[in-house]
Amino acid sequence: MKIILIRQAEGGSPPDNDKKGNAAAYCVYAGTGPEGAATAEALFTLAGEPTRSPLLDDAPAGAGFRGKLAARRDARRRAGEFLDGLETEERDSVVICGRQAMSALRSVLRTRGYLLEGGSLVPRSMERVRATKRSLHCGGCAHNCLLSEAKCEKGRNKARGIL
């Protein structure tokens, strides 16, 4: 399963793009705000509207340190709920969201064993991050079955450089 995270354009409409990608093989998700749909239309040729989810909206930060901490905790909880739904569908997806939601999604994806490619520490407008699920046994993006399957010959040979 592959997930592409895209930070939505900020400050009005996204720039026009002559080369639009085809999102027919992906399920496109966006927040409930107009920025997510505008970003999706600027980047992809869509058959219809992207699927809207309030779990991808940025939560307003409260006042003070505790308010910001509570907002960050809430964003991680909502990101986990959203990823639970994505993992049950097991489809390749494009997720367009704001800065806070993207940071929370990247954090939750890392803890669930996904391999993240691209992106900076603080996501910029229209930045893309690709996440692929690591196989826990013999295959996928990273071979990490030596930690979970001690009797795996393929993993042991790959680690030794035999394969």
Q: Where are the domains of the chain?
A: 2-136
Query: What pLDDT is attached to residue 105?
Result: 92
Q: What is the dihedral of CA 149, 151, 157, 159, to 10 degrees?
A: 40
pLDDT in tens, 1-44: 788 888 887 765 555 555 566 667 788 899 888 888 888 888 88
- Given this structure, which CATH class describes domain 2-136? alpha beta
Q: What is the pLDDT of residues 42-91, one digit of tens each?
A: 888 777 788 899 898 887 777 788 888 888 899 999 999 999 999 898 88
Compute the CA torsion angle 4, 67, 77, 60 (nearest 10 deg).
-50
Q: Residue 147 — pLDDT band, cuts 50, 70, 90?
A: very low
Predicted pLDDT of residue 72? 87
d(CA 49, CA 29): 9
Would you state the structure tokens that stand for residue 77, as one six-digit string?
């909880």
In this prediction the pTM is: 0.74
